[in-house]
Structure 1
Amino acid sequence: MTARVLVVDDILANVRLLEAKLAAEYFDVVTAMNGADALEAVQRTKPDIVLLDVMMPGIDGIEVCRRIKSNPLTQHIPVVMVTALDQPEDRVRGLEAGADDFLTKPVNDVSLFCRVKSLVRLKMLTDELRTRTNGDPLRMLGPDGLGESGRGRILVIDNRTAVAERIKTALAGRHDVTVAVDPQQAFEAFGQSEGDFELVIVNLDMEGVDALRICSQLKSVEKTRQTPILIIVDPDDHQRLLRALDMGVNDYLIRPIDKQELMARVATQIRRFRYTERLRTSVRASIEMAVTDALTGLYNRRYLETHLGTLIDHAVNRGKPLSVLTLDVDFFKSVNDTHGHDAGDRVLQELAGRIRASIRSIDLACRTGGEEFVIVLPGTDLQTAERVGERIRKAVAAKTFNAGPDSHLSITVSLGIAELASVDDTVDDLLKRADQALYRAKREGRNRVILAAA
């Protein structure tokens, strides 16, 4: 793994030492000797991570961190405070300013690279998500920015009851805390949680339980993979701490636990989790908008054109049938002209619902234009597709449509059906035959299903 690292320290020897260590691991290193230069370097070089000394003249590291994290364009960049100070209140000040982690001088090489690599991986994920959203971070985050919106949902896994209760009591004023005493209870808690948890706290020193295996399982299961993990570890348990960080654990607390540091680290992890979840939600929404019709929620023409060819190839390769059904609302123009476009939109939305209720989950329903729809039926021959078409036609005609207050309209549809005829059939061939059958249905009186000629 490589990345661009900004090293900030007012002592040249410290800068050169970190620069040499990181360069030896093939990191691209940028340096700054004071707070003002650091802020300029962040804007100019766009680093993947900042290693920031706390004690500097002028603008100190705490203020530099606060400014980085308050800027929407840089707040996603991980900041690690590098300091000779090791008092809990100093760490709390840094965490409250938005720092992602701390390293204490003299910096241990293994801790340095584990921290840098872990945070860089998170940064790369965030960058990818931000790129796909193609939007303003402030717009995505809403008015609360990175601030906590409501109480956090935390799961504490610890079979030492006294320790778990102390953690729960410390956090209860700000967060909703659930305690699990073993792995089975922990995973059951995830299944029962309505909104899922935003942070898991795991005590590495549980009695008779391999806590690292719990962390591994949490990172291996899709439902819990993105949930941050904060571990509690003894000060001399370096080996298990490094193994935990290497497997993806997000943060740690050293015993004895300081309440203020616990609160600050919990707030940091929940804040970061909410940020990345909003990004993921935005990505999913963008993908859905690209392939679905906004009015009906069915797939759009672009999705049909992309996937129908693949479905035809699968059918040909496996020797399976495939049918395509085209549907058009009869006299739909008169609905818009007489009752207005809002009424027409409501009719189309209700029609989409009746189509969904009449087909299987593996079938592909698309709105391809105004009142035109295409339904792809994998593994379905012409005779079965005809029965599906009749089911849809009857579902539409059997019940009036609610087109607005005191406006109930009788609607019918015409359908044309074509079956995959040969290995040489293309998307255009199949759709053309189905359309020709649909035109026949229109000419012969509407409200009927017509099969395409072989």
Structure 2
Amino acid sequence: MAGRILIADDTATGRIRLKVDLGEARYDTLIAPAPGAVVAMAREARPDLVLLGAGSLTHCAALKSDPATRAIPVIVLEGAPCAATRRAALRAGADEVLTKPYAAPGLLAVVRALLRRRATHEDLARRHDSAAGLGFAEPRPGFLRPGRVTLVAPTPATGLAWMRGLRAVLDHDVTCRTRGEVLGATSEVAPDAVVIAADLDAPGAGLRLISDLRSRGATRRAAIVVIDTADDPATLPMALDIGADAVIGGNFDAEELALRLEVLIDEKRRADALRDGLEARLNLALIDPLTGLYNRRYAETQMNRIAEEARASGQPFALMLLDLDRFKRVNDCYGHMTGDAVLAETARRLRANVREVDLLARYGGEEFVIAMPATDLASARIAADRLRRVIAERPFRTGQGHGPIPVTMSIGVQVCAGPDGTGEALGAMMREADAALYSSKAAGRNLVTFAQGKAA
């Protein structure tokens, strides 16, 4: 079954029809014997979604005020179109309001959209909690700025009227933009919510804009509300299935829109906070705090991926182990703070001289590793010697009260030529690169040595 849905419509015939429509879509349904039983049944059965009649708004409010059930999406079914009823349902906590007689495709599209939203938020929360369980600190909350709401209306005059009406009832920044302007938004000024007319300069143009917004990084996670003044029954399922969060049919209602936007912006903020917290915690697990490079744990995972891709594509890749020469002397002569500064500057120089596609990580102590996809022997030789020179040719100035400190680096390299080459496993490549590094040290340091080759 696709999910469990608790049906508590006001009428017996309504409950039966909902059971049939949802059953045909392979949803598991529970029917409350009376609307008053819905709260107790929801607490016990923990359904994925609840359907209520418009006469049960007190039960809707009870569900949303109970910590055990507040995350369950609620759809309210009203008996006839009524703006006051819709607003009352939204204030009671309803996630969506549909008017009877509803069209089954529209109902099912709303159910799918709400279940997707809940699943996404729960997945983020689970990953966030898993990271917290590893002992990583909670990131500090940032400043909560007003939300950014962008209106994309069919005409400038309509947009101005929408903006004036919405600003009177919504405590967020509201602006009007053209289709091109909203698509050109950068992440720094990206909207938290976009309100789009279903038909802009042509029928269906608003729906096409939804797809464009969802394909761009800056607007991918913005809340999207569609205003369908034509109240076309086909618009609701199409808009929701391509990424809209809500569709308002009929005349523009600033109050209803404001109620929906408050909820959607709050949900977006909570989801963004979970993503940001998860990213920060993952960085703590994968990033070396001194150098800002990836750590050994991440490097080993990514090197396996690079090796697999090289085997699949038949392209060679290079593996380098790099070690600062006589680094202990730096610590002994200048102190560990200076040694840390040398490591951080080494990382900066190396990062500036590898490609974006290359993997650079601190492997431990004063040792670094670089994996270079699609790199043959000749290219690896050029790259390794360049890296050796960027360390050796310019003494380090650490700002620790010492003069310039000469630093050199020894490098060991192994190149896998793909299926036509030696075909060694990653562990063997690492051992051979390490042996080459040892040869560089033994031959006098500040050298590049290739596995089974001569110092360069």
TM-score grouping bracket, smaller chain normalisation:
0.7 to 0.9
Name the amino acid aligned to 1:201.
V
Structure 1 counterpart of 2:208, from 214, 224, 231: 214
Unpaired runs of 5+ residues, structure 1, are none
Q: Could you tell me whether the CA contact under 8 Å between 1:316 and 1:423 is conserved in 2?
A: no
Query: The residue matched to 1:429 in structure 2 has which SS?
Result: helix
Range 290-299 or range 162-171, more displaced: 290-299
Spell out, residue by residue over 1:172-194, the C-alpha distance to the aligned partner (whole angstroms, 9 max, x if none). Answer: 4633333234x434423x35x63
**Identity across the alignment (%):** 31
Shift of 1:304: 3.3
* 1:234 counterpart residue number: 229
Shift of 1:285: 4.5
CA change 1:141–1:99 in 2 (3 A) is farther
Give me the TM-score of the superposition, normalised by structure 1. 0.82
* 1:433 counterpart residue number: 432
* 2:256 counterpart residue number: 261
Q: Distance in 1 between matches of 2:347 and 2:30?
A: 56
Shift of 1:165: 0.4
Structure 2 counterpart of 1:301, from 284, 296, 307: 296
Query: The residue matched to 1:358 in structure 2 has which SS?
Result: coil
CA change 1:213–1:13 in 2 (3 A) is closer
Q: Could you tell me whether the CA contact under 8 Å between 2:147 and 2:192 is conserved in 1?
A: yes
Q: Could you tell me whether the CA contact under 8 Å between 2:318 and 2:376 is conserved in 1?
A: yes
Q: Distance in 1 between matches of 2:117 and 2:332?
A: 54
Structure 2 counterpart of 1:115, from 110, 119, 122: 110
Q: Distance in 1 between matches of 2:106 and 2:288?
A: 50
* 1:61 counterpart residue number: 59
Shift of 1:279: 3.4
Query: The residue matched to 2:175 in structure 1 has which SS?
Result: strand
CA change 1:348–1:170 in 2 (3 A) is farther
Alignment of 1:20-169 (within 5 A): 20-32=20-32, 38-56=38-56, 60-68=58-66, 71=67, 75-84=70-79, 87-105=82-100, 107-135=102-130, 149-169=144-164
* 1:176 counterpart residue number: 173
Shift of 1:132: 2.8
Alignment of 1:397-416 (within 5 A): 397-401=392-396, 403=398, 405-407=400-402, 410=405, 411-416=407-412
Shift of 1:354: 0.9
Q: Could you tell me whether the CA contact under 8 Å between 1:154 and 1:201 is conserved in 2?
A: yes
Q: Distance in 2 between matches of 1:357 and 1:100?
A: 50
CA change 1:299–1:34 in 2 (3 A) is farther
Q: Could you tell me whether the CA contact under 8 Å between 1:291 and 1:302 is conserved in 2?
A: yes
Query: The residue matched to 2:55 in structure 1 has which SS?
Result: coil
Name the amino acid aligned to 1:194.
E
* 1:2 counterpart residue number: 2
Q: Could you tell me whether the CA contact under 8 Å between 2:391 and 2:408 is conserved in 1?
A: yes
Shift of 1:33: 5.8
Q: Distance in 2 between matches of 1:260 and 1:5?
A: 29
Q: Could you tell me whether the CA contact under 8 Å between 1:61 and 1:81 is conserved in 2?
A: no
Q: Distance in 2 between matches of 1:241 and 1:341?
A: 64
Q: Distance in 1 between matches of 2:149 and 2:365?
A: 48
1:325 maps onto 2:320 in alignment: yes
Q: How many residues align?
A: 442
Spell out, residue by residue over 1:230-272, the C-alpha distance to the aligned partner (whole angstroms, 9 max, x if none). Answer: 1112364223334323433221223332322121112122222
Query: The residue matched to 2:121 in structure 1 has which SS?
Result: helix
Q: Could you tell me whether the CA contact under 8 Å between 2:163 and 2:174 is conserved in 1?
A: yes
Spell out, residue by residue over 1:392-426, the C-alpha distance to the aligned partner (whole angstroms, 9 max, x if none). Answer: 22322344445564356623322222333633322
CA change 1:143–1:44 in 2 (3 A) is farther
Name the amino acid aligned to 2:256.
E
Q: Could you tell me whether the CA contact under 8 Å between 2:412 and 2:451 is conserved in 1?
A: yes
Name the amino acid aligned to 1:378.
P
Name the amino acid aligned to 1:150.
R
Q: Distance in 1 between matches of 2:140 and 2:367?
A: 37
* 2:355 counterpart residue number: 360
Spell out, residue by residue over 1:417-447, the C-alpha distance to the aligned partner (whole angstroms, 9 max, x if none). Answer: 2333633322122222221122223234433
Name the amino acid aligned to 1:210.
G
Q: Distance in 2 between matches of 1:167 and 1:120?
A: 30
Structure 2 counterpart of 1:393, from 385, 388, 392: 388
Range 322-331 or range 75-84, more displaced: 75-84
Give me the TM-score of the superposition, normalised by structure 2. 0.82
Runs of 4+ residues deviating >6 angstroms: 139-144
Query: The residue matched to 2:189 in structure 1 has which SS?
Result: coil
Q: Distance in 2 between matches of 1:272 and 1:286?
A: 21
CA change 1:400–1:51 in 2 (3 A) is farther
CA change 1:213–1:107 in 2 (3 A) is closer
Q: Distance in 2 between matches of 1:316 and 1:259?
A: 58
CA change 1:66–1:34 in 2 (3 A) is farther
Shift of 1:11: 5.9
Q: Distance in 1 between matches of 2:361 and 2:395?
A: 22
Q: Distance in 2 between matches of 1:141 and 1:113?
A: 38
Shift of 1:158: 1.7
Q: Distance in 1 between matches of 2:280 and 2:131?
A: 15
Shift of 1:373: 0.9
Shift of 1:356: 0.9
Query: The residue matched to 2:352 in structure 1 has which SS?
Result: helix
Name the amino acid aligned to 1:5.
I
Name the amino acid aligned to 1:453.
Q
Shift of 1:32: 4.2
CA change 1:243–1:310 in 2 (3 A) is closer
Shift of 1:388: 2.3
Name the amino acid aligned to 2:390.
A
Query: The residue matched to 2:62 in structure 1 has which SS?
Result: helix
Shift of 1:296: 2.7
Spell out, residue by residue over 1:45-102, the C-alpha distance to the aligned partner (whole angstroms, 9 max, x if none). Answer: 332222234534xx9234224315xx4x755432222344754344334334443211
Q: Distance in 2 between matches of 1:234 and 1:307?
A: 51
Query: The residue matched to 2:357 in structure 1 has which SS?
Result: coil
Spell out, residue by residue over 1:295-346, the C-alpha distance to the aligned partner (whole angstroms, 9 max, x if none). Answer: 4332333343334344345545655443322111223334445655554443
Q: Could you tell me whether the CA contact under 8 Å between 2:147 and 2:173 is conserved in 1?
A: yes
